[in-house]
Chain A
Amino acid sequence: MLVTGIKSKPVYAPLRADTRGRFHLMLGVGEGEAPLLRVLREMQSQAPQTLGATRVLLAPGPHGPPGSSAPLAPATGSPAAAGSTPDPSQSLCVFAELPIQELRSFSDVPSLLAELRSSLEGALMGTRLYVAGPESFIGLAMKIALEFNLNKDEVRAEQVGTLARRVYCVHCRATTENVRTNIVRCLECDRWLLVRDHYSRRLAAYMGLMVDAEVPGELPPIQEVFV
């Protein structure tokens, strides 16, 4: 039932610095901090002057840093808290030691994405975007990058953290967040959906198709597969 080898499924690779770029915008969520630090160190040794044109935007992951419970999903109506909330995590100190142009920490993913959008609105050709974090965060960032016509040679992404998916119900068009199982109930129309590898960059979601259309209620085993 599950088709493998679907071309639209995103493929990620370890982040590398692209020192041909003039401006570097880096987004890290949760464990995404580590790959960004690695790239920054690479830049520091290869082309230290690029650090002065590098901005780093961070937000906690779905489980958040200790003592936080920031949701990954952009909850509708949540105020995009223009938040440079200082994060006490140790890694921030490591970032702060690098001579980068700007380091900002956001309380949640939606406010980080809002900053991404306004940054891209004013950005010039020559900008490179680096994204590191859970897959669904990468998808949301890539969706915004796509709106600004950023191509594959301008955006790089490394997946670290959860593979939990955003699933688009092809029947009612609602998107269910944080899906870890091969089959999930659509939060809007209650249909049981098979989560496919078929991915939409425009929607930043995997396609979910009704799985029990022929015999309602007859479901294959539900397994946690996207962890």
Chain B
Amino acid sequence: MSEEQTLAVEVSAVEQITPLIKHFTLSPVGGGNLPAFSGGSHIVVVMRGDARDGEARRGDGRRGSTRVHRNPYSLLSSPHRLDAYEIGVRRMEESRGGSHFMHDQVEVGTRLEIAHPVNLFALDKIARKHVLIAGGIGITPFLAQLEDLHPGRVPYELHYTVRSPEHAAFLPRLREREGERVRMYYDSEGHAIDYDGLLSNQPLGTHVYVCGPAGLITHVAEKARRWGWPDSHVHWEQFSAPPVGDPFDVFLARSNLHVHVPPDQSLMESIEAAGVEVPYLCRGGVCGFCQTQVLAVEGEIVHNDHFLSDSERAKYIMPCVSRARCKSLVLDL
């Protein structure tokens, strides 16, 4: 996605809502409305500057270092309200910089660029029932989706699991809207979702949606499969942060360009830094938009995406999250 297509927003509110999560409100620069979106959509926030150097790019256009982060965040605000978008950002312990940038350097008045909303986690429109399962920060896409759900129409359940009450982000907002329909599970109090009970007894036409840590998603997906759920009724979203790894070199055949990928920068970021644009939507290994053909590899590709099938992995790579341990890698870019 080229930079011409980004939207300019200004942070109009920031609130620390749990020890780890900050809630940001982003308003369009110059007022007016932002583009419409549907519940489950995410945006990609472009962050210029290096969080670790304490240098940020402020609304005045002052540039920090050239390090650019582009992180996906689910929109949690109502799709019926377009004067601002809201996102929740969890501070990641092993952050490559993005979440620390948002937490440490973004304040009211900071200007950011965001990519247009994209929905890779929409509710099934003809489902007969929805079962929503959120873990921690994974509550965010459901907050927007709930705006389109009404108990009198299609039945739904929301199960929200967090470490402890102080980590239950957006619970007051949920309680206000959903009352006791929100089922809370606190690890600190030994609560656990009864996945077998939940998934063994749902009426035909039910869809289950999971957002949260990888372990939660894997667990729900495995349980669902065990209880005979077909894949088309199981939905999940997890944006992988690009993992760190060994440095490697890549040759972009069409651009005739050699690019070095350092340990803490993703392949996509390194390619972008070299001036070549890779089309993307999610930057988290789920959408498939950046799928790139591998023309040659001497070594092995470290696939970190949730998109490619095993057979596709022999020929393709998702540069947003995947890396290589190799002597040489040639991509069709």
Residue positions of A touching B, CB distance < 8 A: 20-23, 120, 123-128, 148-154
Contact of B202 among A20, A21, A124, A154 (CB under 8 A): A124
Residue positions of B touching A, CB distance < 8 A: 124, 126-128, 199-207, 225, 227-233
B202: which A residues are within 8 A, CB to CB? Answer: 124-125
Cβ distance B274 to chain A, nearest Cβ, rounded Å? 41
Say yes or no: A20 contacts B228, CB within 8 Å: yes
Cα A123 to Cα B203 with chains together (Å): 6
Say yes or no: B233 contacts A124, CB within 8 Å: no
Cβ distance B234 to chain A, nearest Cβ, rounded Å? 10
A23: which B residues are within 8 A, CB to CB? Answer: 228
Contact of A125 among B124, B126, B206, B231 (CB under 8 A): B206
Most buried by A among B126, B203, B205, B228: B228
Q: Is the interface of B mostly helix, strand, loop or mixed?
A: loop
A154: which B residues are within 8 A, CB to CB? Answer: 230, 232
Say yes or no: A148 contacts B204, CB within 8 Å: yes
Say yes or no: A149 contacts B205, CB within 8 Å: yes
Known: A125-B204, A125-B206, A128-B228. 13 other contacts (CB 8 A): A20-B225, A22-B228, A124-B200, A125-B202, A125-B205, A125-B233, A127-B204, A127-B228, A148-B205, A149-B205, A149-B207, A151-B232, A153-B231
A128: which B residues are within 8 A, CB to CB? Answer: 228
A123: which B residues are within 8 A, CB to CB? Answer: 203-204
Cβ distance A150 to chain B, nearest Cβ, rounded Å? 7
Please judge, given known A-B contacts A20-B225, A149-B126, A149-B128, whether A125 and B203 are in contact too, CB under 8 Å: yes
Cβ distance B241 to chain A, nearest Cβ, rounded Å? 31
Say yes or no: B204 contacts A149, CB within 8 Å: yes
Please judge, given known A-B contacts A20-B225, A120-B204, A125-B204, whether A149 and B230 are in contact too, CB under 8 Å: no
Say yes or no: B124 contacts A149, CB within 8 Å: yes
Say yes or no: A126 contacts B231, CB within 8 Å: no
Cα A125 to Cα B200 with chains together (Å): 7
Cβ distance A102 to chain B, nearest Cβ, rounded Å? 18
A148: which B residues are within 8 A, CB to CB? Answer: 128, 204-205
Q: Is the interface of A mostly helix, strand, loop or mixed?
A: loop
Cβ distance A149 to chain B, nearest Cβ, rounded Å? 3
Cα A148 to Cα B205 with chains together (Å): 6
Please judge, given known A-B contacts A120-B204, A124-B202, A125-B199, whether A153 and B228 are in contact too, CB under 8 Å: no
Cα A128 to Cα B128 with chains together (Å): 17
Cα A126 to Cα B229 with chains together (Å): 5
Cβ distance A121 to chain B, nearest Cβ, rounded Å? 8
Cβ distance A153 to chain B, nearest Cβ, rounded Å? 4
Cα A150 to Cα B206 with chains together (Å): 9
Say yes or no: B204 contacts A150, CB within 8 Å: yes
Cα A176 to Cα B330 with chains together (Å): 60
Cα A127 to Cα B231 with chains together (Å): 13
**Identity of the chain B residue whose Cβ is nearest the Cβ of A126 in the assembled complex:** B228
**Identity of the chain A residue whose Cβ is nearest the Cβ of B232 in the assembled complex:** A151
Most buried by A among B199, B201, B204, B230: B204
Say yes or no: B228 contacts A149, CB within 8 Å: no
Can you list 6 pairs linking A and B with CB atoms under 8 Å apart? Answer: A22-B228, A125-B204, A125-B228, A126-B227, A149-B128, A149-B204
Say yes or no: B227 contacts A22, CB within 8 Å: yes
A151: which B residues are within 8 A, CB to CB? Answer: 230, 232-233
Say yes or no: A149 contacts B227, CB within 8 Å: no
**Identity of the chain A residue whose Cβ is nearest the Cβ of B225 in the assembled complex:** A20
Cα A95 to Cα B131 with chains together (Å): 38
